[in-house]
A and B are shown apart, each in its own frame.
Chain A
Amino acid sequence: MPRMGFDRHLKELENDLLLLGSMVGKAIDRSTQAMKERDIALAKQVIEEDKLINCKRFEIEEKSIELMATQQPMARDLRIIVAVLNMIVDLERIGDHAAGNAKIVLMLGEEPPLKPLVDIPRMAVKTQEMLNRALGAFINRDSAEAINVINDDDEVDNLYDQVFRELLVFMAEDPHTISRATRLIWAAHNLERSADRVTNICERVLFVITGKSEELGSSNY
């Protein structure tokens, strides 16, 4: 027997999560674009719009709590709501990392660019792709895809290694670059952490499907 009202609320909750996910994906994209193009106005916009991400997160949290309080969800229904409550924390934090990178754009300001950015944008593209696939795996209850995304985190880790090594060389060769290079390492680190957060989301997808909580990501950082 269907529970039409409750099923509709659950679907709305999933749609809200997707919306939050797309806001966060956009923040990653724009903060990276701002960094690449040294676009201060765009960076400020990302920082400003992070407030909307935070609001959306609390809105979803409130709806989840109301559903738990009023609908007595059990088994998979309960796991979906618990998973959503966990995933919004990860999403909001990824949004914070994107806003963090936008702040780095402001810090770098008018300083001459150290080098054209290549690997940091690649990290951003990969992280965003992982995020989209993780949310797709949630909607489709696709455990194989969730595991694939977790495994893909290695690519982001490798890129981070590469960025780190490259910037160390810059710093070793010319101490004048230390401040700029350190900030770029922070930016790369923010993206590396974001991808780790995506693996958390995938673990919650597996929790919804199997009921088991397991730490599957094996990041070096």
Chain B
Amino acid sequence: MDPKIKIRGVNFFYHKHQVLKNINMDFPERQITAIIGPSGCGKSTLLRALNRMNDIVSGARLEGAVLLDNENIYSPNLDVVNLRKRVGMVFQQPNPFPKSIFDNVAFGPRMLGTTAQSRLDEVVEKSLRQAALWDEVKDNLHKSGLALSGGQQQRLCIARVLAIEPEVILMDEPCSALDPVSTMRIEELMQELKQNYTIAIVTHNMQQAARASDWTGFLLTGDLVEYGRTGEIFSRPRDKRTEDYITGRFG
């Protein structure tokens, strides 16, 4: 199957500083692809390049192509709002709006023009179920999203992304602010979600990449050193730098 997203010859600059160097990488459909690497290697920049979140950073410039279903998302006539609907994002810190659980999840559909209450009810329930949060909140949908625990808030943010029915979900360190049990729940949730969505995750937690992903790319100072099946990368990496990083002998 053709990969959902293909990165081809991508160079990325913040002003004159080159952050990504000639990256070629695939994100297969309905699979989880992890990007790992030490701090400052460019992994968040790479993830953000997948839905043009870097556009808003001043001095940011990208060369090359990022193909979503074979269409370059950097072509000038592309509708960025529609792109971000197709490629949703979950951030490091759970960031629910100071609104009710219901309104958090209904936010996206309302922005996109859904007004019928019955339709909103349906979308909110479906999204919360998919995010494995429904059973915990169904009796308190009008409680503030901020009253939930950290792990629940992160699942609420995932439900909020799911409500706009994206094709791809980008996750930028989604568990780094969570305790181990909440982390495991998110990892299990990712396994459920990949039945329907393509997922890209950035993590500095190598064990998490190993446990949760199907494909892994290792970035080092802007170079994609190695990319392959997660099982291969973590049991017999081809590049010595990958080996050194995953065995903790880096630097």
Contacts and interface: CB of A to CB of B under 8 A. Distances in A.
A72 B234 contact: no
Given A1-B184, A1-B185, A6 B235 contact: no
B188 A1 contact: yes
Interface of A: 1-6, 62, 65-66, 68-72
Nearest to A67: B231
Contacts of B185: 1
Given A71-B210, A72-B211, A4 B188 contact: yes
Q: Specify which of A2, A3, A5 lies most central, judged by the most chain B CB atoms within 10 Å of its CB.
A: A5
A69 B210 contact: yes
A2 B210 contact: no
Given A1-B185, A3-B184, A6-B211, A70 B234 contact: yes
A65 B235 contact: yes
Given A1-B188, A2-B188, A6-B211, 15 more contacts: A1-B181, A1-B185, A4-B188, A5-B191, A62-B235, A65-B235, A66-B231, A66-B232, A66-B234, A70-B210, A70-B230, A70-B231, A70-B235, A71-B210, A72-B210
Contacts of A65: 235
Interface in B195-224: 207, 210-211
Nearest to A70: B210
17 contacts: A2-B188, A4-B188, A4-B191, A5-B188, A5-B191, A62-B235, A65-B235, A66-B234, A69-B231, A69-B235, A70-B210, A70-B211, A70-B230, A70-B231, A71-B211, A72-B207, A72-B211
Nearest to B190: A5
B235 A66 contact: yes
A69 B234 contact: yes
Nearest to B188: A4
A4 B195 CA distance: 14
Nearest to B185: A1
A35 to B, nearest CB: 41
A59 to B, nearest CB: 13
A6 to B, nearest CB: 7
Give the 3 A-B CB pairs with smallest separation, nearest first: A66-B231, A70-B210, A69-B234
